[in-house]
Amino acid sequence: MHASARALASRPKLLLLDEVANGLDARNHARFLHWLNGSARSRMPWVFATHRSSDVPESMTHLLELEQGAVKRRRAMRASGARKVLQQDSEAFHSREAPVLSRSRGRRVLVALRNADVHVDEAHILTGIDLEVRAGDCWVVHGPNGSGKSTLLRTIYGDHAVASGGSITRAGIVPGVPLEQFKLRTAYVAPHLQTWHAPKMPVMEVVASGRHASIGLNDPITANDRKHAERALRRFGMFAMRKRTLAEMSYGQARRILFARAWAREPRLALLDEPFAGLDRATRADLTRRLNQWLQDGGSCVIATHHREEWPAHTTHVLELKAGRVIAGRVLGDS
């Protein structure tokens, strides 16, 4: 919303909007669409690029659909027609099976937060968080923008500390064992990580760096690193791209590389922060299918998302945050 306001400050004659609805919660998403629909009363034209049918405003007058750099469809139409064309296939995101009921009691605790407060740059972001992730769990964390979802995932990962009076414990991390050992067996994926890698970095180096939870490599790739990197690239359908650089990747391909990087360490737990933001429906569906398979094979996950259709088929727990506090939590299958 702030970016849109800045763009209008110069009184433009044309407004170009590239995936500007990404990452907006329901309230801000509705505000954005209301603002965009209101612009129809002015003479200012706009072009809005999006992957989601839910982003299409009522005031839209034309649809241009691209595929591999070529125009696939071009027409003047109403928004309802565009939504039909762009409709996501929900079955591509969810298994036909019933959701897996939580039976995690008795399984190994991977991470536990008790009365956890978290401060970032002197701001109090999380308050009194209680959370226990066990082997085989898949937690979905949702809530409005600014509720603390990203901070919660980064706290679990080890980027932020829990304040005195609360605690966080991680499986295998005891006095004398560095936190790095937890990171080396935990996958972490977030869109901002794509900007942390230099465009000219080779794909193999990006993926192999996941073995060390680092950005890039300080030493040449070892045979063992290469073996795990190639396995991860195959897992996410990117093995054929192993000799290219990030600059040669599309946005969606770069996200697949980011997933491969996270899985190069053969993780036990995955922390996914809006992992499908900015991706087309086919890529989202494919990555979700691969994630569901990993969960079915015994993986554990905490995923933050605004979109219900992105909940993994094997979701076991749902946690809702607001202003840094838990306001609702449930185990799927509970009455």
| Judgement on whether residues 77 and 113 belong to the same structural domain of the protein | no
Q: Are residues 275 and 310 in the same domain?
A: yes
Kindly state whether residues 114 and 56 are assigned to the same domain.
Answer: no
Average the pLDDT over each of 100-114, 195-209, 237-251, 268-282 and give the range with the smallest value: 100-114
Q: Is 64 helix (H, G, I), strand (E, B) or coil?
A: strand
Give me the number of domains the chain comprises: 2
In terms of phi and psi (left: phi > 0; alpha: psi -120 to 50; beta: otherwise), the region of 302 is beta
Domain match, 63 and 31 both: yes
Q: Do the domain assignments include residue 96?
A: no
Please check whether residue 200 is in contact with residue 246, taking contact to mean a CB–CB distance below 8 angstroms: yes
- Pick the more confident residue, 192 or 127: 127
Residue keyed to tokens 């398979």: 293
Q: What is the pLDDT of residue 194?
A: 84
Flag whether 101 is in a domain.
no
In a domain, 188, yes or no: yes
More confident residue, 101 or 139: 139
User: pLDDT per residue over 13-43, tens digit each?
Assistant: 676 766 665 556 666 656 666 666 666 666 6
Q: 265 lies in a domain?
A: yes
Question: Which of 4-13, 61-70, 128-137, 164-173 bottoms out in mean pLDDT, i.e. has the lowest?
Answer: 4-13
Q: Which domain holds residue 281?
A: 109-331
Residue 94 is assigned to a structural domain of this protein: no
CATH number at residue 20: 3.40.50.300
> What is the reported pLDDT for 329?
86
100 within domain boundaries: no
Whether residues 295 and 227 fall in one domain: yes
Determine which helix (DSSP H) or strand (DSSP E) holds 226, and give its type and residue range: helix 223-235
258 and 205 fall within a common domain: yes
Per-residue confidence (pLDDT) for residue 109, from 0 to 100: 96
Is residue 97 domain-resident? no
**Residue pLDDT, tens place only, 132-173:** 999 999 999 999 999 999 999 999 999 999 999 999 999 999
Regarding whether 201 and 299 lie in a shared domain, the answer is yes
Say whether pLDDT at 182 is over 70.
Answer: yes
- Per-residue model confidence as pLDDT tens digits over 72-92: 666 665 555 555 555 543 444
Kindly state whether residue 273 falls inside one of the protein's structural domains: yes
Report the predicted TM-score, pTM, of the whole model to 2 decimal places: 0.74
CB 167 within 8 A of CB 141: no
Give 76 or 295, the one with higher predicted confidence: 295
Residues recorded for the chain: 335
